[in-house]
Amino acid sequence: MLEAEFREAVRGLPLAKSAYFSSVASTNDVVATWAREGLQGLCLAYADEQTSGRGRAGRRWLTPSGSALAFSLLLAPAQLFEPNLLGLVSGLGALAVCKALETLYQLSPKIKWPNDVLLEGRKVSGVLAESSWAGEQLQALILGIGINVAPNSAPPAKELNFPATCLENVLGKKVNSALLLRSILDSLIAWKDRLSEPTFVQAWEQRLAFKGERVRLGIGEKSIVEGEIHGLSADGQLQIRLPSAEVQTFHMGEIQIRSLVDRPLK
């Protein structure tokens, strides 16, 4: 996306600051610098290319020039978000992406808890929520979003820990990245002040991948538990129904979810 297209896409949005980069290491790092400088309000950093983009657990997030959407938002001050709502911020980004894909392309995306967006069972978008601190004081929340648009945006197969795709392959046509960006931002802005409403978690849960299916939760190849995805708690945590019928809640972290639909529960 060219800078002129970016400027047109964000025109009229309630942003305290917006910046376009033809190439940058990481938009999350840019926004973290803004937080340390004391910038307030909703601020947006967009990059046509990221050279050191990252996902969860420090994994590399590929953003070749002209092939993907890569942007980060500063949500400051963090005091605007009640402590019990902080776990919902990842879901906010994923839900905004889903709403845009539904509205623009009539697709049926799913959210692999807590923050990956899937199309046809493959990852098309990732969300990385981070915090900015001053000592023990939480200053701001940072929400990074990446979307695979063109075919060369998907990582090489050897780097994948989950199947990936891109929007243009799913649609079979070119995508207007500026229009997609605007739709995501419109949705995110509409939802960000509604995290405390039950309708937010309901909207997230309606798009929850593997709901009602057997899954394995684990870290790497180490299995934590197997069970059926029951849904989400009021604060966005994952609920798993165990073979014993007990429902157990799992908190966000480096948990991986893998479908076991072709395997019987132990």
Say yes or no: domain 3-206 is CATH 3.30.930.10: yes
Q: What is the pLDDT of residue 222?
A: 75
Q: What is the pTM of this model?
A: 0.90
Could you tell me if 236 and 91 are in contact, meaning their C-beta atoms sit under 8 angstroms apart? yes
CATH class in words for 214-259: mainly beta
Ranges of each domain in the chain: 3-206, 214-259
| Cα-based torsion angle of the residue sequence 83, 84, 88, 90 in order, rounded to the nearest 10 degrees | 40
Tens place of pLDDT per residue across the chain (266 aa): 999 999 999 999 999 999 999 999 999 999 999 988 989 999 999 999 988 666 555 566 678 788 999 999 999 876 666 666 677 888 999 999 999 999 999 999 999 998 899 999 999 999 988 887 767 777 788 999 999 999 988 776 666 667 889 999 999 999 999 999 999 999 999 999 898 899 999 999 999 999 999 998 887 667 788 999 999 998 899 999 999 999 999 887 667 888 886 544 33
